[in-house]
């Protein structure tokens, strides 16, 4: 039973059109297949390419580089609708826009933008963001992957872990140490595949079974000097700025998962008969669902507020952290309420409740754990006193 989302007044014509296009695509081309894809752990690459054809894969890429040139608000709306149908599918869009196109747009030179962005927008190429390492997750400044200078550029050696889209990627945004230990010794690079790159097998995961997640191993992987993204030694600043925007899309993904869980709980409780009528009439059933409905609307508005700040060019790091912290928690609680509402059926793969339960958890972990979001918010409030 669909539950109409609460969205603020004042959406532009383009934002509304993108939202409606995503909703139609998700309902017709994703939702009917999501259970089958997840059960088979299949990454639906052909669907990602179709998203490129209709302009949703590279949503924030400007028109001059082959994209529709929309904004963070549009991306949040699109991500929510796709996540409502299948969380794993929404990840491909979030990564392509927020983690790959965004740093190229922010720090790339004109040649790099012309080389990569049009093909990312069309779906000809998929990208990944190679930051996290086996021993460097939240503590990004401690990454060990090194890029040794050569006459023609660099040779990158090291391992990257939990790389979303890594198994299907043609474009790699890589963060490696080109200088001394610490934050100032890290640089960002962009490259296609080549000798010295090994892509690991798909990592078995609790959820997001339609999303590619792998380990990448670099062994003297050559990156030409033209692959340097921004200034040497400024890579960590670029990585953190990129994550500021990426957290907004994760918050939108969490809202989409929560909304799907809510809709299933409402539909089931309306139809399920017990003790002479629908179980929706019992406070023990409808009070938790009602509370989740209110929290989803709050999470969506927090998310869109952060997106609108980003679109306006205003500081949005703390706003994005608040949105991700709150929305991811709501997604986990909504999935739990959904499972509980369905009872034994909620624990069965016969219904999608268990998938929502599994998919929701990752939103509290990737692109900054909930603990990291609290640190970001606290530092915004207390400044240096929180360090």
Do residues 97 and 38 lie in contact, with contact meaning Cβ atoms separated by under 8 Å? no
Measure the CA dihedral 233/237/243/248, to 10°. -150
Catalogue the active-site residues.
367
Radius of gyration of the chain (CA): 21
Query: How many of the other CB atoms lie within 10 Å of CB of 222?
Result: 17
The Cα–Cα gap between 28 and 22 comes to 10
22, HSE (Cβ side, Cα atoms, 13 Å): 28
Query: How many of the other CB atoms lie within 10 Å of CB of 201?
Result: 8
First to last CA, the chain: 47
Do residues 123 and 153 lie in contact, with contact meaning Cβ atoms separated by under 8 Å? no
Classify strands 171-177 and 127-130 as parallel, antiparallel or unpaired. parallel
The Cα–Cα gap between 225 and 105 comes to 18
Q: Cα dist. 266→7, 81, 289, 312, 334 in Å?
A: 20, 18, 7, 37, 11
Residue ranges in 272-387 assigned as alpha helix (H): 283-311, 317-342, 353-361, 370-382
Place of tokens 């609108």: 308
Question: Which residues sit opposite 273 in a β-bridge?
Answer: 278
For 91, the enclosing helix (H) or strand (E) is: helix 87-94
Do residues 1 and 262 lie in contact, with contact meaning Cβ atoms separated by under 8 Å? no
Do residues 131 and 182 lie in contact, with contact meaning Cβ atoms separated by under 8 Å? no
The Cα–Cα gap between 229 and 112 comes to 8
């Amino acid at each position: 039973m669909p539950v109409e989302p609460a969205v603020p007044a004042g959406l532009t014509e383009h934002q509304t059109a993108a939202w409606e296009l995503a909703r139609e695509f998700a309902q017709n081309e994703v939702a009917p297949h999501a259970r089958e894809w997840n059960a088979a752990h299949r990454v639906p690459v052909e669907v990602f390419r179709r998203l490129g054809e209709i302009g949703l894969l590279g949503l924030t890429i400007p028109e001059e580089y082959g994209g529709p040139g929309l904004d963070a608000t549009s991306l949040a709306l699109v991500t929510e609708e796709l996540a409502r149908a299948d969380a794993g599918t929404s990840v491909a869009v979030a990564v392509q826009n927020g983690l790959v196109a965004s740093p190229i747009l922010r720090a790339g030179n004109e040649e790099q933008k012309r080389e990569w962005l049009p093909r990312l927008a069309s779906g000809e190429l998929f990208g990944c963001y190679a930051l996290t390492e086996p021993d460097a997750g939240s503590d990004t400044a401690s990454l060990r992957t090194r890029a040794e200078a050569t006459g023609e550029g660099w040779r990158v050696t090291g391992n990257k872990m939990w790389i979303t889209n890594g198994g299907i990627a043609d474009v790699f945004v890589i963060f490696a140490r080109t200088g001394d230990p610490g934050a100032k010794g890290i640089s960002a690079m962009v490259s296609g595949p080549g000798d010295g790159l090994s892509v690991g097998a798909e990592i078995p995961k609790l959820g997001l079974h339609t999303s590619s997640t792998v380990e990448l191993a670099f062994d003297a992987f050559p990156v030409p000097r033209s692959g340097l993204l921004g200034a040497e030694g400024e890579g960590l600043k670029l990585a953190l700025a990129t994550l500021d925007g990426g957290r907004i899309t994760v918050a939108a993904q969490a809202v989409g998962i929560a909304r799907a869980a809510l809709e299933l709980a409402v539909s089931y409780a309306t139809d399920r008969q017990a003790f002479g009528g629908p179980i929706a009439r019992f406070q023990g059933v409808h009070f938790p669902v009602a509370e989740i409905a209110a929290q989803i609307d709050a999470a969506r508005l927090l998310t869109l507020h952060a997106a609108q700040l980003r679109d306006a060019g205003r500081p949005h790091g703390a706003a994005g952290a608040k949105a991700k912290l709150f929305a991811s928690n709501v997604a986990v609680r909504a999935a739990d309420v959904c499972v509980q509402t369905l009872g034994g059926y909620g624990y069965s793969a016969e219904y999608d409740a268990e998938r929502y339960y599994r998919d929701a958890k990752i939103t509290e972990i990737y692109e900054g754990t909930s603990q990291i979001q609290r640190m970001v918010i606290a530092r915004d409030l207390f400044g240096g006193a929180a360090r």
